[in-house]
């Protein structure tokens, strides 16, 4: 099918930045990049103190600059597959839009590499608790055991699914111990606990509402009434009765003005006329706050940690 061919061509035209799978030049480039990376790391370790600030600032600025350019730089109009850029401006435009998908995952990949830090902190805490027999050290054992168990089962299961017999594993009858293990730990426990924890919020909402939703001040009263109206409007049955009553008042005249007082319409009016602009008002503020924060970070204007 021809679309497949042209499509693949759209995805990556051969360029300086890429190489064919398993091709020697690609592997060479990868090796070189990695080594260079570690050499740079080595240099950083001996970098003079006064330089540090600038290194961090520069790195931050450059990584931010990409998306700013992605936003500001004119995207070439009506680009078609396999087009060659007509001029320097266009080639930059092409480069940016071709590179964005590559850059897209950087922060998550780096974040991924950092996960080890978190796990280390957890293990450090709990292993010390066990070795020193501190209170609840038994539970620390539980934590570590379940962590190890799911790691083994999870990877075991994944490797089997990647293997030649992978597609068979869609049938439970073909499962082995590891498959059962990973299904039990993830699907049977982890997922269920997620749902359980989330559903507990319902209890907390009830107690919080009972404890705190008192008509103490004018503000509180306003909050209370608005909440009640919306809650009522969510109860289809009650809504039906109310609207029915209104309808009788209006002698079933769908165009009567009284119809505006159906519970649905009151709630809708509240939503569209007060709630929406109120939230929008907050969002404008938060949005600009975020923009400013982003700007300060990007230009390294503030010292994180509010040093004094």
Partner 1 sequence: MGQQYLDTGWLGVAVTATIVAFILFNIYRARGGKELFIRRIPGLTAIDEAVGRATEMGKPVVMVPGLGDGTVNAKSLQALNIFSYVSRVAAKFATPIIVCCSNASLFALAQEVIRDVYQQEGVLDRYDMDSVRFISDRQFAFAAGVSGLVLRQQAAAAFLMGEFYAESLIMAETANSVGAIQVASSTETTQTPFFIAACDYVLIGDEFYAASAYLAKQPVLVGSLIGQDWGKAFLGFCVLVGTLVSSVQLLGSTTQEFKEGKMNTIPERIMKKSDTFFSRMLNPDPDPKIEITREKYPADQLPTPAPKETIK
Partner 2 sequence: MDYTFIKMTLGVLATVGLYSVLYRENKFYRFWEHVFLGLASGWALVILWTETLKSTWWDKMLGATNNSGQASVMGYWAYAALLPIGMMGYFVFSKKHNWISRIPIGIILGMYSGQQIQVWWNRFGPQIDNSIKPILPTSTASFFKPGTSGLAPDAVAKINSTVYPSQAITNIIFVVTLLSVMSYFLFSFDIKSKMLKNTTTLGRWLLMIGFGAIFGSTVMMRFTLLIDRMYFIWIEWFKMLVLRQPG
Partner 3 sequence: MADATTPEMSLGEKLQALPKWSLYVVLVILTSVPLFAKLEVPNKPVEASIDFYGKIMAVPDGSRILVGSDWTNSTRGESKGEMKVLLRILMRKNVKFAFYCFDPQAPQVVRDTIREVNAERIARQEKPYRPFDDYVSLGYFPNAEGTCNAINNNLLAAFSGKKDTPENSGPKDVFESPVFAGVKSVKDFQLLALITASSTNTVTLERIKKIPLLFMVTGVMVPENQNYYASNQIVGLAGGLKGVYDLEQLMEHGINNPGPEMIPSSKWGVVPGFKGALNSGMGTAYYPTLHFALLLLIVAILTGNVGMFLAKKQAKKGAA
Positions in the binding site for partner 3 (CB under 8 A): 1, 3-4, 7-8, 10-12, 70, 81, 97-98, 100-101, 103-109, 112, 166-167, 170, 191-192, 194-195, 197-199, 202-203, 205-207, 209-211, 213-216, 224, 228, 231-232, 234-240, 243, 264, 268, 271-272, 275-276, 279-280, 283
In this structure, are residues 125 and 147 in contact, taking their beta carbons and an 8 Å threshold?
Answer: no
Nearest 5°: CA angle at 93, between 87 and 95? 100
149/143 Cα distance (integer angstroms): 10
Q: From partner 2, partner 3, partner 1, none, which one binds at residue 216 (CB under 5 to 8 Å depending on kind)?
A: partner 3
Give the integer Cα–Cα distance in Å for 57 and 117.
23
- If the CB atoms of residues 114 and 202 are measured against partner 3, the closer one turns out to be 202
Could you tell me if residue 282 is left (phi over 0), alpha (psi between -120 and 50 degrees) or otherwise beta? alpha
The binder of 85, among partner 1, partner 3, partner 2, none, by C-beta within 5 to 8 A per type, is partner 1
Give the residue with the Cβ less far from partner 1, 13 or 37.
13
Distance of CA 26 to the CA centre of its chain: 32
- Tokens at 86, concatenated: 């007509």
Q: Which stretch binds partner 2 (CB under 8 A): 4-12, 81-89, 163-171, 238-246?
A: 4-12
Site for partner 2 in 62-81 (CB under 8 A): 62-68, 70-71
CA distance 134 to 119: 20
Choose, by CB under 8 A, the member of 3, 80, 82, 113 that binds partner 2.
113
Q: Is 16 in the site for partner 1 (CB under 8 A)?
A: no
98 binds, among partner 3, partner 1, partner 2, none (CB under 5 to 8 A by kind): partner 3
Q: Considering the rule CB under 8 A, would residue 177 count as an interface residue with partner 1?
A: no
Contacts of 89 (CB under 8 A, 6+ apart): 74
Interacting positions 15-44 with partner 2 (CB under 8 A): 17-22, 26, 29-31, 33-34, 36-38, 40-41, 44
Helix H or strand E encompassing 213 = none
Which helix (H) or strand (E) element contains residue 274?
none
């Amino acid at each position: 099918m021809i679309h497949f061919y042209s499509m693949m061509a759209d995805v990556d035209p051969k360029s300086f930045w890429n190489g064919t799978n398993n091709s020697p030049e690609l592997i060479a480039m990868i090796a070189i990049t990695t080594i260079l990376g570690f050499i740079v790391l080595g240099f950083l370790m001996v970098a003079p103190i006064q330089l540090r600030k600038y290194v961090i600032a520069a790195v931050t600025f450059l990584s931010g600059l990409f998306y700013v350019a992605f936003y500001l730089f004119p995207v070439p109009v009506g680009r078609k597959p396999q087009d060659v850029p007509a001029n320097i401006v266009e080639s930059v435009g092409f480069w940016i839009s071709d590179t964005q998908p590559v850059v897209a995952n950087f922060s998550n990949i780096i974040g991924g590499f950092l996960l080890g830090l978190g796990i280390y902190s957890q293990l450090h805490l709990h292993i010390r608790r066990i070795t020193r027999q501190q209170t609840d050290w038994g539970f620390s054992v539980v934590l570590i055991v379940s962590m190890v168990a799911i790691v083994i089962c999870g990877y075991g299961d994944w490797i089997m699914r990647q293997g030649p017999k992978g597609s068979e594993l869609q049938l439970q009858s073909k499962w082995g111990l590891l498959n059962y293990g990973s299904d039990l730990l993830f699907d049977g426990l982890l997922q269920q606990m997620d749902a359980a924890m989330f559903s507990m919020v319902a209890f907390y909402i009830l107690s919080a509402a009972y404890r705190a939703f008192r008509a103490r001040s004018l503000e509180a009263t306003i909050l209370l009434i608005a909440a009640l109206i919306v809650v009522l409007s969510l109860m289809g049955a009650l809504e039906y009765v109310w609207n029915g009553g209104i309808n009788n008042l209006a002698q079933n005249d769908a165009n009567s003005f009284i119809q505006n007082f159906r519970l649905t319409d009151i709630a809708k009016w509240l939503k569209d006329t007060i709630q929406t602009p109120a939230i929008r008002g907050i969002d404008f503020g938060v949005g600009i706050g975020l923009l400013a924060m982003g700007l300060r970070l990007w230009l390294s204007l503030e010292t994180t940690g509010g040093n004094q």
